[in-house]
Amino acid sequence: MDLTGFEWLTALALGLGLAAATGFRVFVPLLLAALAARTGHLPLAEGFLWLESDVALVIFALAAALEIAAYFIPWFDHLLDVAAQPAAMVAGALLMAATMVDMPPWVRWTVAVIVGGGTAGLVQGATGVLRLGSTATTGGLANPVFATFETGAATGLTVLAVALPLVALAVVAFLASRAVRSLLKWRGRKAAG
């Protein structure tokens, strides 16, 4: 099936929105995407139907609950950020590839790894830097507020990506510009300090 330019853009926007959401939380977007696929709101590419299986839903639900709870444990949240960086990149690439329906596999995987994984890594890296700043300035007291924001952002961006992919693309573009700015500012302070 030949996709129109608009269909390609919509598929890319959907995948990019889901990938960015994994930068906030790894398993919340996986769970919500699996639920959306199960209810018929999210088409999946060939080879990704396992995402909507009962086993996947149970695993994603348990992992999401544990991930959300763990980010409320002071100092443990920083340990999670170390593991979350590669996990977010893998989950972002996976979700982007899963939603690029009717695209040749070489296009799907190239875009998924570079754009999806890269976007997830960028958002996750920026949230890690913000969490370090929160810990440094408040001794970790504000981290539960930050954890709540991240979970809400992962949930909201996932729902937005499924419902309005092009709007999600605009949000991701804004988030990416802010993330790059934050990372560059942090890097400049680190080099100067």
Amino acid identity for residue 128 in this structure? G
pLDDT at position 143 is 82
Q: Write down the pLDDT at residue 3.
A: 64
- In the predicted structure, residue 1 carries a pLDDT above the cut 60: no
pLDDT in tens, 16-73: 999 999 999 999 999 999 999 999 999 999 899 999 999 999 999 999 999 999 888 8
Q: Is this model's pTM higher than 0.85 or not?
A: yes
* Cα dist from 134 to 24, 35, 57, 176, whole Å: 16, 33, 33, 20
Angle among Cα 165, 167, 172 to the nearest 5 degrees reads: 90
The stretch 105-123 carries a mean pLDDT of 93
Give yes or no for a contact between 19 and 27, defined as CB atoms under 8 angstroms apart.
no
pLDDT of residue 94: 97
What pLDDT shows up at residue 54? 96
Nearest to 150, CA basis, from 133, 177, 131: 131
Going by the DSSP 8-state scheme, the letter that residue 112 receives in this structure is: I
Q: pLDDT digit string (tens) for 148-187?
A: 999 999 999 999 999 999 999 999 999 778 877 877 887 7
